[in-house]
Structure 1
Amino acid sequence: MTRKFFLLALTLLFFSFHSRANFDFNNNCKQAYQAIFDLRLQDAKSLIQQEKTQNPNNGITILLENYVDYFSLLASENKNDYERLKALKSNRISTLEKQDKSSPYYLFSQAEIYLQWGLLQSRFQDYFSSAMDIRKADKLLSNNADKFPAFLPNKKSSGLIDVIFGSIPANLRGITSTFGFKGNINNGIKTLENLATTLPKTAYSFYKDEVAFFLCYIEVELVHNKSNYNKIMTYAESLGDSSLLRSYLQGYISLKNAQNDKAIMYLQNRPKGNNYIPFPALDYLLGNVKLNRMDSNANVYLANFLNHTKGVNYIKDAYLKLAYFYYLRGDNNRYQSFIKNVSSKGNLYDEKDKQALREANDAPPDLILLKARLFFDGGYYNKALALLANKDKDDFKLLRDKIEFYYRLGRLYDETNRDSDAITNYQQAINVGHQTSYYYAANAALSIGNIYEKRNDRAKAASFYKQAIAMKNHEYETSIENKAKDGLKRIGY
């Protein structure tokens, strides 16, 4: 009897030892993580389930499941899925709180879930919840850094949060700083760039794709320096050849840096197959860059996006771009049909959709200016300049078009390093348009400020930044004003 009791106790002890809560980022979990960053989410789910069967108390599986939901929602932007999946957050946090407290992943994994949902909540315009969750993540990461200073993954997320808090718009910084939302974009970028170099040589090398993903978005959305294009593309190319996320990043970065032909190449050559998650935004991007080049099949990709998206963003803009596609071809009936859809379909979450609605409610664009604008967006500057070379403001009937004519020339000269010509045309745009609701004059003043800042002429830069701020009741007012205030801060005014 004693022997049987002893064997039973030994068995229970053995079972308890092997089934207790733990964090094991083993090879199976690393394969699931890699599948997530390839956007092969079904493969990732299968690997996670396999790990849960073999090691039911491995807390890493909870974190990986959250990654799956995070990328699923980023790709789909489906509001119903967002409402359904966000209910899982609190249960996942509660389960992680019962895991191994001695592991560096204990606080880190909780912070990751708060951070990912904070980013998603911002995307779906739940800004207060977003700020609170990112703040919780920041505190958890800070505590974890004190306990495990050598745990490199911590810096991945803390660096991102440093950038997020550092990029809070100028008009909100006074309020948010009282709640402890303080960051520094440059420090955050430096942290992430150091990780991009050091991580591959460590046991945490599998996190390199996530660091590259963060750096790509930060450089494109916040830094806005086209001279960094090759550097950003190096980050994107560090993701594997089988990664659909890599193709998206390459296409998006190229689009935002006026490398239109490269964007088309990357987006057309993306990996395909049923094992990849549906990602309608890829067709939206491809439709845009093909329209910039005036390709005859740009409409196909814009229509594909509209037929397959279940998301909340870019629907109005896609209809506007389809309207412009047919307008350029003289098909006024289809132009009018799609313009009506801009008003009746889609949402107004994203600034692109808000601007699409403004344009749809305005007079049709001037055909020459529309072509010049599309060529400009694609980086075909010589083609755009050729269209405007023999034009004068009096060639355009509408005040809107007279202002845009000067503004567009200013932008083209600015991008081709003809600063004096750029300033001359920007100033004309200000003179003609400073009392209108169009953004051209205010953005022209901001652009002249940037030129003088680069010349280190702080007094003139400040003068034009202040002009940009002084203009009110126009499109993109908050965005332009915040950029001008940031400019004044940079030059010490």
Structure 2
Amino acid sequence: MEFLKTVCRDLRISALSALLMTYALASRNFVAAETRHASQQVEEAIAEAEAAPQQLSSTSRRAYADLLKLRTAAARAAVRAELRQQPANAGALLVDEGIDFTELVVSQDAARYEAVIDKQDEYLEQLAQLPRTPLRDYARAEIRLHQAVAQVMFDHEFQGAWSLRQAYLQVQQNAKRWPNHLPTRKTLGLCQFLIGSVPEGYRWFMNLLGLPGDTNAGLQNLRTATLHPHDFQIESQVLLALIRQAYQGADNEAAALADRLYREQPDNLLFSYLVMSIQKKLHHTDRALAAYRSRPTGPAYPVVPYLHHMAADLLLYQGQYAASTQANQQFINDYRGSHYRKDAWFKMYLAHWLAGNDAAAERARRQIASGGETVVEEDRYAQRFIDDQLPLNRTLTAARLQLDGGYYRAALSTLNRFRVTAATPLRDRLEEPYRLARAYHGLSRLDSARFYYQRTLSLSGNAPYYFAPQSALQMGYLSLEAGQKAQAKAYFQKALGYAKHEYKTSTDAKAKVALAALK
């Protein structure tokens, strides 16, 4: 059921944005194309909105705004005051449940799990007794979806699979009954897209559960939900932006939106995280660290340990080994969950090893295998480092970190020091051309990038490393940019054809989405 954990980990982005991302304004590029096709539906949606109650109250809306800032205490105080006055309030029940769920996702604290599940069950029962409206039906589907994520997150996979099925069936029914309810389109689109991107090897299980996915239909529904104002438009916009960023490379659009939001709401911790996360993915290390250091802090905000883990990576890219170790140690000390622990210890190993502190590096290495799960790819990579017992090459490792940080010229200089000998392991022989390709790609020297991607592919054969599938994926993107659709399709299919490797889940998902878009 490991793949289901991956799906539900991605589904957390629907959880009133939980730890993940919200935007105040949709990108003009996202909206313009869709507007041309939606005028009639929008008019019907406006008429339906006036005919059936579906909006949050002013109090719930304020609480929701605080939740999106991760000011959960203030949000809770406001919405629970409303519930004391009006218990049968679908919007307030949804926001209140979202606060508890957000804190569970952020903290990963297993001690909170049972109480959250019990409250979800209680609120679902209360909602079932209320008159049917778009908001009431939307709240039921959202809370059930949150429950599925929580159950899978804390290793109750079969309960989570059943809850996911219930949530998806509910949102499908909602879409039929309220075809113009924009928040419903948001949740339906999210489910369609993420389930549609599940690896082919698990498609039978999703079909068995009655969970058909469709990435193109999912994107269409998400776009529809971004078009006009509604209480959950922010979530719709961020989900579309993040999916396009993660699966289609729309990085700069996402960055522009996140920067604008942060300027408008500097007291929003979620927006700080957004800027930090997106700039890190864009390999803009300095900008990402600036967002971390200027984030709002204080008793109004919960502890978010993962921010320190992200900062540790950024500091490692800059060669600030002591500061990186300190940030990861803070993450380990504050974090209550089981994910990213192996990755944190692996990064501490790298920091100590590159700094020449072999004794501390060995202590960190032993911690990698001592606990934590291998659901997320970063943890899987760290565990494979232990299992393979293959020593890392210091030059290639330093170059990889420089590339991750966006320091492409420095990485090329570092790679120039690498020399292949008769004793060089196969993994290192394959990593060198791949790193050169990434460096030239980052510098927009695309002919050189293509040469080294192709060299990686030709040398790799069926070697069980991620360098070849990633090279095939990047060659697919480059071919697509050049208008060579048939060639792009061949490369995306090639990327899917590689067997187990460290980043197979994300590589296959991106290739699958790209192929679907070519149809």
TM-score of the superposition, structure 2-length normalised? 0.81
The higher-RCO structure (CA 8 Å, 6+ apart) is 2
Give, in angstroms, the shift of residue 191 of structure 1: 3.9
Change in CA separation of 1:392 and 1:243 when aligned onto 2, cut-off 3 Å = same
- Measure, in 2, the Cα distance between the counterparts of 1:462 and 1:108: 38
1:422 aligns with 2:449: yes
**Larger radius of gyration between Structure 1 and Structure 2:** 1
Please, which moves more after superposition, 410-419 or 32-41?
A: 410-419
Q: Which runs of 5+ in 2 are unaligned?
A: 1-52
- Measure, in 2, the Cα distance between the counterparts of 1:473 and 1:150: 42
| 1:3-82 equivalence runs, <5 A | 25-82=56-113
In structure 2, what is the equivalent of residue 10 of structure 1?
A: none
| 1:214-233 equivalence runs, <5 A | 214-233=239-258
- Measure, in 1, the Cα distance between the counterparts of 2:380 and 2:134: 44
Give the root-mean-square deviation of aligned CA atoms: 2.9
In structure 1, what is the equivalent of residue 303 of structure 2?
A: 278
1:99 aligns with 2:130: yes
Change in CA separation of 1:93 and 1:263 when aligned onto 2, cut-off 3 Å = same
In structure 2, what is the equivalent of residue 306 of structure 1?
A: 332
- Measure, in 1, the Cα distance between the counterparts of 2:180 and 2:501: 50
1:360 aligns with 2:360: no
Change in CA separation of 1:232 and 1:396 when aligned onto 2, cut-off 3 Å = farther
Please, which moves more after superposition, 278-287 or 176-185?
A: 176-185
- Measure, in 2, the Cα distance between the counterparts of 1:366 and 1:158: 46
Please, which moves more after superposition, 143-152 or 298-307?
A: 143-152
- Measure, in 1, the Cα distance between the counterparts of 2:89 and 2:500: 55
Q: State the identity %.
A: 26
Deviations 1:311-357 (A, max 9, x none): 11111101111111111211111111101111113222222111111
Change in CA separation of 1:226 and 1:108 when aligned onto 2, cut-off 3 Å = closer
Change in CA separation of 1:383 and 1:38 when aligned onto 2, cut-off 3 Å = same
In structure 1, what is the equivalent of residue 360 of structure 2?
A: 334
Q: Secondary structure at the match of 1:57?
A: coil
- Measure, in 2, the Cα distance between the counterparts of 1:462 and 1:196: 30
In structure 2, what is the equivalent of residue 109 of structure 1?
A: 139
Q: Secondary structure at the match of 2:188?
A: helix
Deviations 1:434-459 (A, max 9, x none): 24322223322333343334334355
Q: Secondary structure at the match of 1:335?
A: helix
- Measure, in 1, the Cα distance between the counterparts of 2:342 and 2:328: 11
Q: Which one of 346, 361, 379 corresponds to residue 320 of structure 1?
A: 346
| 1:80-159 equivalence runs, <5 A | 80-101=111-132, 103-124=133-154, 126=156, 128-159=158-189
Change in CA separation of 1:236 and 1:401 when aligned onto 2, cut-off 3 Å = farther
Give, in angstroms, the shift of residue 370 of structure 1: 1.2
- Measure, in 1, the Cα distance between the counterparts of 2:312 and 2:103: 22
Please, which moves more after superposition, 39-48 or 457-466?
A: 457-466
Deviations 1:137-163 (A, max 9, x none): 343334444444554333332232232
Q: Which runs of 5+ in 1 are unaligned?
A: 1-21
Tell me if structure 2 keeps the 8 A contact 1:37–1:209.
no
Give, in angstroms, the shift of residue 462 of structure 1: 4.7
1:475 aligns with 2:497: no
Please, which moves more after superposition, 230-239 or 279-288?
A: 230-239
Tell me if structure 2 keeps the 8 A contact 1:372–1:387.
yes
Tell me if structure 2 keeps the 8 A contact 1:316–1:343.
yes
- Measure, in 1, the Cα distance between the counterparts of 2:74 and 2:89: 19
Deviations 1:105-147 (A, max 9, x none): 2212111211222333454465554454344334333444444
In structure 2, what is the equivalent of residue 295 of structure 1?
A: 320
Tell me if structure 1 keeps the 8 A contact 2:107–2:305.
yes
1:350 aligns with 2:376: yes
